[in-house]
Amino acid sequence: MKRQYFGTDGIRAPYGSDIMNEAFAWRLGVAVAAWLMENGASRGASALIGRDTRASGGSLTQALADGLVHGGCQPFTLGVLPTPAVACAVTARRAALGVVVTASHNPATDNGIKFFGPAGMKLTDEQEARIEALLPGPRSEGRPGPLPALDGITDYLASTASLLPARLDGWRIVLDTANGATVHTSGRVLRELGAEVIPLGADPDGRNINEGVGSEHPEKMSDLVKRHGARLGVAHDGDGDRCILCDEHGAVLDGDEILTLLALHALNQGRLAQNLLVVTQQSNLGVEAALEAVGGRVARTPIGDRYVIERMRAEGATLGGESSGHIICSDVSSTGDGLVAALKVIEVMLATGRPLSELRRVLVKFPQLTLALKVREKKPLETLSGLTGTVRQVETELGSRGRVLVRYSGTEPKLRLLVEGPTSETVKTVMERLQAAARAELDVL
């Protein structure tokens, strides 16, 4: 089913645009309430709403809640809370729906809305398409009163703090919360476990979320780790479902390295369900090489952590994620959780007694280049004969020694290019050819 508004992770757009404003949020609330009723929910079904720290989050939350009330639901606000904590609250309180008002790693000028179903699971493409079909006309007059609030943080803090078998007394950790939703959660858990936490990106003002900090900008975290002699650095994105790390030398680990480290440790302990790690098309070929060398398996999905989760559920896997830092440990959380991922890595460090700089060596990456071209219009790729022809040609040349991935971003007006190959020079040459072909047929900004 084709969707008009939903992308790979909910609906996301610049705040004030046609699809990210209070009027549209109200319509979306009405539509998702109608969808719930279609699927057996009773009137007064509870919907829990969390948000990140963007200035636009409060008014969008209220408008969405007004729409939910109009559609027959009872919304509650959880306040500023990470995405995985909202999913946790949905399960703990047996709510019919979870909603997060966030644009994740995007700048503060954007915002977004994503949903969790009754089991704390993200919605499928078909469910999102049905919600779009139920969108009503313009907003009605009349608004309910203030939103009742619920505690969404206590259960989440308790469940995450219980993950480690030992305390972290004597550990020094740099924590970058991206001026976002994890500002009141991740640091609290680490401190309660005994760690000394050096904060970064911990002063949200509504306008500075992800601004030069967070998982998209790990440079400051790396510098602080080296300056303070920390054991590792942890960086989240604005809504807390991503984790990027750096080792004690300040060298950054992406999601592929974290996933490979966790998968191989679990495999060695006989605890990797189905001996399977689920990743997306974006992940480096080195991940497969590392797992297959010791009897593990790797399955790939389209880009998007919810596709990873769907495949994990289908195959009985408990570990999966994306190179961007979405790490899903389904034995703990129903969705990507940056804090859980960091704690799982720390657990491996405790179990092995080895520093992160050594543990990361399990992944030897194939040379890779990525590029994002901002485009005026997302023309269907199948209509770009020059670009698709170039892709076919280089795929033939690379054979099993590399791969090419060309796709549009599901959340931004960008064409994303990825090339892997046997040597850095080969990868660079192929990327230049792909970029030239793309620029010849697209209006690149």
Q: Which DSSP letter does residue 256 get?
A: H
Element holding 342 (H helix, E strand): helix 338-352
Q: Which long-range contacts (CB under 8 A, 24 or more apart) does 222-229 make?
A: 222/246, 222/250, 222/251, 222/252, 223/250, 224/174, 224/198, 224/200, 225/174, 225/249, 225/250, 226/250, 228/172, 228/174, 228/198, 229/172
Q: Tell me how far CA of residue 177 lies from CA of 90, 349, 385, in angstroms.
A: 23, 22, 43
DSSP 104-159: TTS-TTEEEEEEE-TTSPBPPHHHHHHHHHT--SSPPS----PPPB---SHHHHHH
Neighbours of 428 (CB within 10 A): 14
Q: Please tell me the distance from the alpha carbon of residue 21 to that of residue 12, in angstroms, as a whole number.
A: 11
Is residue 60 within 8 A of residue 14, CB to CB? The reply is no
Q: Which DSSP letter does residue 7 get?
A: B
Give every CB contact of residue 260 below 8 A, 6+ residues apart in sequence.
277, 286, 287, 290, 291, 362, 363
User: From the CA atom positions of the chain, what is the Rg in Å?
Assistant: 22
Strands lying side by side in the sheet with 368-374:
368-374, 414-420, 403-408
Is residue 206 within 8 A of residue 236, CB to CB? The reply is no
Neighbours of 158 (CB within 10 A): 12
Residues annotated as part of the active site: 104
SS3 444: strand
